[in-house]
Amino acid sequence: MPAGGSPEAPLAILCGAGAFPLAVAEEVRRTGRPVFLIGILGSSDPAIEHHPHAWARLGQFGRLVELARGAGARDIVFVGALSRPAGWLELRPDRRLLMLVPRLLRALRGGDDHLLRAVVGAVAEHGLQVRGVHEVAPGLMLPAGPLGQRTALDTDTADAVLGFRVLAAMSPFDVGQGAVIANGRVVAVEAAEGTDAMLVRVAELRASGRLRLPARAGVFVKAAKAGQDLRMDTPAIGPKTVESARAAGLAGIAYAAGDVMAVDAERMIASADAAGLFIQGYERERA
C-alpha cells in the first residue's frame, strides 16, 4: 500500500483552525483523490463547505469516526490547530470519548506527543488509519534549497545550523519547533506561545532596544521535533510567518527540508521576495 493509504477511497480531513486544512484538501484533490472534510464547530474555516463535508463538535469522537467511515474513508488526516479544551466538560464528550478519558489523561502527562499517539491508536481501533500531510500531500512539503530570490548568507546558515541544534536539544521535552538565532546568539525559543507570539516578542525586544541587532539580522528556524509524529502535527509556515519574520527584523526563515509544509507557498514566496527575506530549506543531516 502506498504511504498515503488507500488512494481510491476518499481521504477524511479533520479540519482544525486556519487555512492549512483547505490547502491540504486542494492538494489531495489535485492528486486525483477525493476528500471528505470534517469541520469542527467554532474552529474550522466555513470555506470547507466548498468540498464534501460535515460538521461536528470536537468532543463527538463517535460521530467523527462514523462520519469518516460513512463517507467511505479508511484514512484520515488531522490538519490545523485544535485548541486544547479547558477541561473535559467544555469538550462535551460523547460516550465514546468518555470511554477514552482514562487513557488520554494518562497520555496527557507525557506531553503533546504522547497525547497524539494515544489519539492515533484510538482512531485506528475504529478502522481509520491516521495519515500525515507528508504522506497524502507530499507536494506541500518544502524541499531543500532557497525558495525565493534571496539566499541565506554564510552567517545566516551558521545561525540556522545553531538553531537546528537548539531544536534537537529541546526535542526530548516535547517542545521546540521554532527558535530565533541572531549572530550566533539564541534570542528566542518557542514553547506554548507558538511561532507568531515568539516572533512578535523578538520584534518588541528590538523595538524597545533590549535586543540590539543590526537591521535584517537573525533567522527564524523551524523543524519537526526529533522523532515527532508528523501525522498529527506537521510544522507549517506560510505568508503570515513571513510577515511576522519581517516585522521581527529577521534576515530570513530556515527550515528542515521535508519536515515542514507550506500553505500558499506562492504567496509566501512572493511576500518574502518583496520583503527581501530568504526562505531556505536545509537537508536533515545538516538540520
Footprint of its own copies (CB under 8 A): 83-87, 108-112, 162, 165-166, 169-170, 172-176, 180, 183-189, 191-194, 197, 201-202, 205, 209-212
Report the residue number, 76 or 232, with the smaller CB distance to its own copies: 232
Report the residue number, 175 or 275, with the smaller CB distance to its own copies: 175
Report the residue number, 95 or 212, with the smaller CB distance to its own copies: 212
3-state SS record for the chain: CCCCCCCCCCEEEEECECCHHHHHHHHHHHCCCCEEEEEECCCCCHHHHHCCEEEECCCCHHHHHHHHHHCCCCEEEEECECCCCCCHHHHCCCHHHHHHHHHHHHHHCCCHHHHHHHHHHHHHCCCCEEECHHHHCHHHECCCEECCCCCCCHHHHHHHHHHHHHHHHHHHHCCCCEEEEECCEEEEECCCCHHHHHHHHHHHHHHCCCCCCCCCCCEEEECCCCCCCCCCCCCEECHHHHHHHHHCCCCEEEEECCCCEECCHHHHHHHHHHHCCEEEEECCCCC
Measured from the CB of residue 104, what is the shortest distance to its own copies in angstroms? 14
Measured from the CB of residue 109, what is the shortest distance to its own copies in angstroms? 5
Measured from the CB of residue 111, what is the shortest distance to its own copies in angstroms? 6
CA 188 to chain centre: 19
Report the residue number, 52 or 172, with the smaller CB distance to its own copies: 172
Q: Helix 265-275 to helix 239-247 angle, to the nearest 10 degrees?
A: 20
Measured from the CB of residue 204, what is the shortest distance to its own copies in angstroms? 9
Report the residue number, 31 or 83, with the smaller CB distance to its own copies: 83
Measured from the CB of residue 163, what is the shortest distance to its own copies in angstroms? 9
Measured from the CB of residue 186, what is the shortest distance to its own copies in angstroms? 4
Report the residue number, 41 or 169, with the smaller CB distance to its own copies: 169
